[in-house]
Amino acid sequence: MKKILRLLSPYFWLKIFLYLANKRRFKRVGVNFRFDPFSSISYDRIVVGDNVYIGPNSHISAELEIGNNLMVGPNFVVLGGDHLFGIKGKRARFIKPCNDSNQGKIKIGEDVWIGANVTILKGVVIGDGSVIGAGSVVNKNIPPYVIAVGMPAKPKKRIFADDDLIYHLKELKYSDKTILDVLDTRKGYIDLPVFDNSKLAETDYTYEID
């Protein structure tokens, strides 16, 4: 009955129409991309990979590149620029930067998980495989395969020790060069504790790639 009522809802069909119409407006979109069409998005400046989910009520105003297999919680905010202020004799409300001088491209790597209510600011790069905790504000680059939280977000734990990370990346068919690049980018965080997932049994989850 709930499914029937949903199909009869004008709101449901409006959402489908907006989704299909707005999906065409992105600069480039991969397969199996899902997003909330009622979100506020600067479509033509965004490149989206495969298997990407962006939660509802997002606001994205940036030149943004998103890697494959990203999942994002609700109320996601991405700001690729900021306002000018503190100029003598000028009201900040009416100062407009020239030539996008206040803009910075943002890049989110592959296999990233971003929690609810996260804000990402201009010029940031988030490395592959990282997790950004709910409520965080990301204003600096985050290395690959770490858990980062806070305002501002800072790496708190590594995801996999280096040996396990090499095995993991080889299973995902990363090239040897890319694996070395990932390890090199993360080497400054070698003293961080490793996220402990040892109590998770295979019966506790399923693994199905769409």
Can you say whether the dihedral through the CA atoms of 17, 20, 21, 23 is positive or negative? Answer: positive
**Which stretch of 100-109, 155-164, 183-192 has the lowest confidence by average pLDDT?**
100-109
Confidence of residue 58 (pLDDT cuts 50, 70, 90): very high
Q: Which parts of the chain are beta strand (E)?
A: 28-29, 40-41, 46-48, 53-54, 59-61, 64-66, 71-72, 77-79, 106-108, 113-114, 119-120, 125-126, 131-132, 137-138, 146-149, 154-158
CB 118 within 8 A of CB 76: yes
pLDDT at 176 over 90: yes
pLDDT the model gives residue 45: 84
Q: What is the CATH number of domain 23-82+91-159?
A: 2.160.10.10
Mean pLDDT of 196-205: 85
Domain ranges across the chain: 23-82+91-159
Say yes or no to pLDDT of 35 above 90.
Answer: no
pLDDT bin (cut points 50, 70, 90) of residue 76 is very high
Q: Which residues are the active-site residues?
A: 83
pLDDT at residue 9, rounded to an integer: 66
Locate tokens 């709930």: which residue? 2
Q: What percent of the chain shows pLDDT beyond 90?
A: 62
Q: Residues 140, 99: contact at Cβ < 8 Å?
A: no
